[in-house]
Structure 1
Amino acid sequence: MTTTTTAAAPIGAGTRAGLTARTALAPMVWGTTYIVTTELLPAGHPLFAALLRALPAGILALLISRRLPHGDWWWKIAVLGTLNFGIFLPLLFITAERLPGGVAATLGASQPIIVALLVVVILHERFSRWRVGWGVVGVAGVGMVVLGPGAGIDVIGVLAGVGGALSMGLGVVLIKRWGRPVGVGAITLAGWQLTAGGLVLLLPTLLFEGIPEHVDGPAVAGYLWLGLIGGLVTYSLWFAGIRRLPVTATALLGLLSPLVAAVLGVLLLGELLTPVQICGFALALAAMVAGQLTPRRKKDLLTS
């Protein structure tokens, strides 16, 4: 049995700007993940952290929407939930625990490049040298901001970072390809995926990690922030944006995450930005903004 999906209607420049701004809130909030993980959560429990970020928020969304997938959306949600949460989240927390924040952020910033390549294969879109180029510039800018001379390299951490970028990138492109069922809102779609991803994580978490022996008040606050705000709210915004915005341009908004993490380091941990880091900050922001634009082709310019 197949099900129909909603098609995204064309949007004007003003509407697109507002939608882009709302979608950008998601990676900005995700920029808090590193500092919350390292400062508030019990160390050595990436699977448990991923489970609590996904499953409770997903169940809450199901209770709110009171709607379940139907038809072929059962297997599609299983795939999307596994890619976007069941695989991505534990790899994210492994990366945050095993690598300095700068290295982890730079690996995560490679996702727009991965998405730009995947849309050619999966969505059969034209290869965008413009957005791939700005994606490379964005990675370079992020590297200037967050990489320092003392940045260490852990092989498992690097593999986790690359694997997480690949998993989330593929999930983003598949969401763009499949859309969502008619009448299903972004919160419901996010809830389905969070629940599916949480269920994928449940058994491995219980078998290999279990529950941390000591979960204090700050840790509870951290889990609530990552699950409710960093999970359900932000992914609802993110999926709504992906549906209507160009997927590669949307992926470039992810550059905001490491930049927000760097700002939090200055504000909360007393870190200082060097002139090179400030230049990298400006470069990454320029790449993000430029990636939202669609350059006119030479043929169009000649006929206009």
Structure 2
Amino acid sequence: MTTNSSGATAGLPLWLMAVAAPLLWGTTYAVTQAFLAGVDPFWLATLRIVVPGVMMVWLVPLTVWRRHWLNIVVLSALNIGIFTVLLFGAIQRLPGGMAATLTASMPLQLLLLRALQGKLPAPLQLLAAVGGMAGVGLLVWQAPAEPDWTGVALALAAAFCMALGVLLMPLLGRGIKPLVLASAQLFSAGVVLLALMLLWGRPFPSLDTRGVLALVWLGPIGMGLGYYLWFRAITLIAVDKLAFMGLINPVVAVLAGVLLMGELMNISQAFAIALVLLCVLLAQHPAAQR
């Protein structure tokens, strides 16, 4: 169990809340392929951030902007803005499965960052991080004959941004309520990405009714609700445990593909899912404490 500063114990509902964010994010691939195929991926990334950001910005008091604007800018860049640009850049250059596998290095990179702070990981944590990345690789890996090394660097850099953002959240987000912090970050990152898209001059995509509904799922629900739950969990669960929850994302992506798109699952993928979930559970075990 994990205890927050007020002494409340993090029970099963808290862990379910932490799992809910990657569950929502994991549906992105299947929903996009099923209902938003052919939509410009950069516009799609921008809209799924800026729409919930504009809807939620009223939740951010002016005092928060005045006191914490620099922290909000840094966190929104790491957690959402730069991460999204790097990730979509990697996806443009690499097979989706390879990009997902490299991004799954986030827990391992987080442990390495904490080691640089003098907080060495427990052996069980390292085992869970390496095993989780291997499980994701077995689940979705699609190795090209000659990988695009720029794409590889972009995917690893995206994972690094996510790891650094998670690590800095308890420090830079201190004193800001999770819902307010999520709203401020989504709005800040969304406005910057929208400005970049307009300056870039890419034509705005046309969406049918199904596309609009899919965007509502990916934006206000997937990003808005998902990031709120994620930032809420960060305030109550140790970051080196919470980071492993992100490994659930590609598992959900594969399962959603089976359910929504009729994709088939083989024995090795079923084994990989079991391995990933086992590693997530290992990382939560008391023996994984440093």
In structure 1, the residue corresponding to 2:5 is in which secondary structure? coil
Q: Whole-Å Cα distance in 1 between the matches of residues 207 and 89 of structure 2?
A: 19
Q: How does 1:187-266 map to 2 (within 5 A)?
A: 187-266=179-258
1:45: Cα distance to partner? 3.0
Q: Whole-Å Cα distance in 2 between the matches of residues 83 and 271 of structure 1?
A: 33
The equivalent position to 2:80 in structure 1, one of 62, 82, 85, is 85
- Would you identify which runs of 4 or more consecutive aligned residues in structure 1 move more than 6 Å? 149-152
Paired position in structure 2 for 1:118: 113
1:151: Cα distance to partner? 8.5
Q: Which moved more, 1:145-154 or 1:156-165?
A: 145-154
Is the contact made by 1:47 and 1:201 (CA closer than 8 Å) also made in structure 2?
no
1:261: Cα distance to partner? 0.6
Paired position in structure 1 for 2:129: 135
The equivalent position to 1:34 in structure 2, one of 29, 33, 38, is 29
Q: Whole-Å Cα distance in 2 between the matches of residues 56 and 296 of structure 1?
A: 39
Change (3 A) 1:290 1:296: closer
Paired position in structure 2 for 1:164: 158
Residue ranges of structure 1 left out of the alignment (5+ in a row): 1-6, 299-304
Residue ranges of structure 2 left out of the alignment (5+ in a row): none
Q: Whole-Å Cα distance in 2 between the matches of residues 55 and 234 of structure 1?
A: 14
1:293: Cα distance to partner? 1.5
Query: 1:248-269: per-residue Cα shift (whole Å, max 9, x none)?
Result: 1101001110000111122222
Paired position in structure 2 for 1:302: none
Q: Which moved more, 1:263-272 or 1:37-46?
A: 37-46
Paired position in structure 1 for 2:14: 19
* Percent of paired sites with the same residue: 36
1:66: Cα distance to partner? 4.4
For residue 223 of structure 1, what is the amino acid of its counterpart? L
Q: Whole-Å Cα distance in 1 between the matches of residues 145 and 44 of structure 2?
A: 24
Q: Whole-Å Cα distance in 1 between the matches of residues 244 and 174 of structure 2?
A: 22
For residue 237 of structure 1, what is the amino acid of its counterpart? L
For residue 82 of structure 1, what is the amino acid of its counterpart? A
Q: Does residue 9 in structure 1 map to residue 6 in structure 2?
A: yes
Change (3 A) 1:20 1:261: same
1:44: Cα distance to partner? 6.8
1:242: Cα distance to partner? 0.8
Q: Which moved more, 1:157-166 or 1:76-85?
A: 157-166
For residue 216 of structure 2, what is the amino acid of its counterpart? L
Paired position in structure 1 for 2:44: 49
In structure 1, the residue corresponding to 2:286 is in which secondary structure? coil
Q: Whole-Å Cα distance in 2 between the matches of residues 107 and 153 of structure 1?
A: 12
Is the contact made by 1:87 and 1:167 (CA closer than 8 Å) also made in structure 2?
yes
In structure 2, the residue corresponding to 1:295 is in which secondary structure? helix
Query: 1:14-41: per-residue Cα shift (whole Å, max 9, x none)?
Result: x343211111110011111122333433
Is the contact made by 2:53 and 2:183 (CA closer than 8 Å) also made in structure 1?
yes
1:227: Cα distance to partner? 1.2
Paired position in structure 2 for 1:284: 276
In structure 1, the residue corresponding to 2:202 is in which secondary structure? coil
Q: Which moved more, 1:215-224 or 1:39-48?
A: 39-48
For residue 157 of structure 1, what is the amino acid of its counterpart? G
* TM-score computed with the length of structure 2 as normaliser: 0.88
In structure 2, the residue corresponding to 1:244 is in which secondary structure? coil
The equivalent position to 1:272 in structure 2, one of 264, 273, 276, is 264
Q: Whole-Å Cα distance in 2 between the matches of residues 201 and 296 of structure 1?
A: 38
For residue 119 of structure 2, what is the amino acid of its counterpart? E
* TM-score computed with the length of structure 1 as normaliser: 0.84
For residue 83 of structure 1, what is the amino acid of its counterpart? L
Change (3 A) 1:99 1:36: farther
In structure 2, the residue corresponding to 1:212 is in which secondary structure? coil
For residue 9 of structure 1, what is the amino acid of its counterpart? S
Q: Which moved more, 1:209-218 or 1:164-173?
A: 209-218
Paired position in structure 2 for 1:177: 171
Paired position in structure 2 for 1:146: 140
In structure 1, the residue corresponding to 2:84 is in which secondary structure? helix
